């Protein structure tokens, strides 16, 4: 089926709207799930969106994803406090997720699945970046959806391979953790990292695990290198946000799956 530009524009607009909801999940989810203590943020459905700086309600016309940020020049309409760049970036991420899913899989259930995967992984990566947590409320449903997707044969991973992906992904990271704890008395990887890797295994099967971990390690090292160049002191105790790197590697795995790259064909 050839998809003309109308499909892509519609997908991008839909993706940006979902991205704008993801911003709410990213901002309020960690409080709602009791990972972060900040009651002022509200829950996932109420109150209506407001400026965290001056508490003014955001007008309907300013709830349009991306366009509002540009129209407002990146500032709150009421108090002129800068709107964090994360908001338009996540909205853009939602749009790109929809376009990429459509380009890779056409109008299909696989595309819908890929879009859900991309948006979950985007929310997880940003939440870990901001709070250091990968909430179970997102990793565990993502894991379950991966198994369901493969039960319907959406991503060419054998169901047995997907289940093994969960077991090996979780087990491998927990093992690394136990060794770290023994040797150095600190947790090297969080439990959230193990669950996210298990979820990625659920979507693509166990053979994807080594390349994903390798890629994530490289991305994390690049991240640490950039932070060092920007003047951050890196010590033994410096926490490395491995979750965002793992999330990025997972997104690349989905793209590789859609392109039928090795490991998938």
Question: In this structure, are residues 81 and 53 in contact, taking their beta carbons and an 8 Å threshold?
Answer: yes
Q: Which residue has the tokens 């969960």?
A: 166
Please say which residue, 57 or 184, places its beta carbon nearer to Zn ion: 57
Question: In this structure, are residues 228 and 211 in contact, taking their beta carbons and an 8 Å threshold?
Answer: no
- Name the minimum Å distance from CB 74 to Zn ion: 12
- Name the minimum Å distance from CB 87 to Zn ion: 13
What is the pattern of x (binds Zn ion, CB under 5 A) and - over residues 94-133? Answer: ----------------------------------------
Q: Which stretch binds Zn ion (CB under 5 A): 19-27, 44-52, 67-75, 127-135?
A: 44-52
Please say which residue, 81 or 175, places its beta carbon nearer to Zn ion: 81
Please say which residue, 72 or 240, places its beta carbon nearer to Zn ion: 72
Binding Zn ion (rule: CB under 5 A), the pick from 44, 54, 140, 178 is 54
Task: Measure the CA–CA gap between 139 and 74, rounded to whole angstroms.
Answer: 31
Task: Measure the CA–CA gap between 143 and 132, rounded to whole angstroms.
Answer: 20
Greatest CA span in the chain, whole angstroms? Answer: 57
What is the pattern of x (binds Zn ion, CB under 5 A) and - over residues 64-83? Answer: ------------x-xx-x--
- Name the minimum Å distance from CB 56 to Zn ion: 5
56: helix, strand or coil: coil
Task: Measure the CA–CA gap between 126 and 85, rounded to whole angstroms.
Answer: 12
DSSP 3: -
- Name the minimum Å distance from CB 48 to Zn ion: 14
Please say which residue, 54 or 175, places its beta carbon nearer to Zn ion: 54
Please say which residue, 41 or 174, places its beta carbon nearer to Zn ion: 41
Instruction: Report residue 197: phi and psi, to 5°.
Output: -65, -40
Binding Zn ion (rule: CB under 5 A), the pick from 8, 35, 42, 53 is 53
Start-end of H helices in the chain: 5-32, 67-71, 86-105, 109-131, 136-151, 159-184, 191-204, 209-229, 242-258
Please say which residue, 77 or 96, places its beta carbon nearer to Zn ion: 77
Please say which residue, 83 or 95, places its beta carbon nearer to Zn ion: 83
- Name the minimum Å distance from CB 57 to Zn ion: 10
Binding Zn ion (rule: CB under 5 A), the pick from 22, 51, 101, 253 is 51
Residues in the chain: 265
40: helix, strand or coil: helix
Task: Measure the CA–CA gap between 59 and 72, rounded to whole angstroms.
Answer: 12
219 near Zn ion (CB under 5 A)? no
Q: Which residues bind Zn ion (CB under 5 A)?
A: 51, 53-54, 76, 78-79, 81
């Amino acid at each position: 089926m050839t998809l003309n530009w109308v499909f892509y524009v519609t997908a991008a607009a839909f993706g940006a709207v979902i991205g704008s909801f993801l911003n709410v999940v990213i901002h309020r989810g960690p409080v709602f799930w009791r990972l972060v203590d900040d009651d002022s943020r509200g829950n996932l459905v109420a109150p209506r969106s407001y400026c965290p700086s001056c508490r003014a309600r955001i007008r309907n016309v300013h709830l349009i994803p991306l366009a509002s940020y540009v129209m407002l020049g990146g500032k709150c309409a009421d108090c002129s406090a800068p709107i964090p760049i994360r908001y338009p970036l996540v909205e853009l991420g939602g749009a790109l997720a929809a376009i990429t899913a459509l380009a890779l899989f056409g109008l299909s259930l696989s595309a819908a699945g890929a879009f859900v995967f991309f948006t979950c992984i985007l929310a997880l990566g940003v939440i870990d970046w901001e709070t250091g947590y990968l909430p179970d409320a997102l990793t565990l449903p993502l894991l379950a959806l991966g198994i369901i997707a493969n039960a319907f044969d959406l991503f060419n991973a054998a169901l047995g391979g997907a289940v093994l992906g969960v077991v090996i992904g979780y087990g491998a990271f927990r093992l690394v953790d136990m060794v770290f704890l023994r040797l150095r008395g600190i947790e090297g990887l969080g439990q959230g990292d193990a669950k996210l890797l298990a979820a990625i295994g659920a979507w693509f099967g166990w053979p994807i695990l080594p390349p994903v971990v390798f890629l994530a390690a490289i991305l994390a090292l690049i991240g640490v290198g950039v932070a060092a160049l920007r003047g951050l002191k890196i010590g033994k105790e410096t926490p490395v946000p491995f979750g965002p790197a793992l999330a990025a590697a997972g997104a690349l795995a989905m793209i590789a799956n859609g392109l039928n790259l090795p490991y998938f064909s």
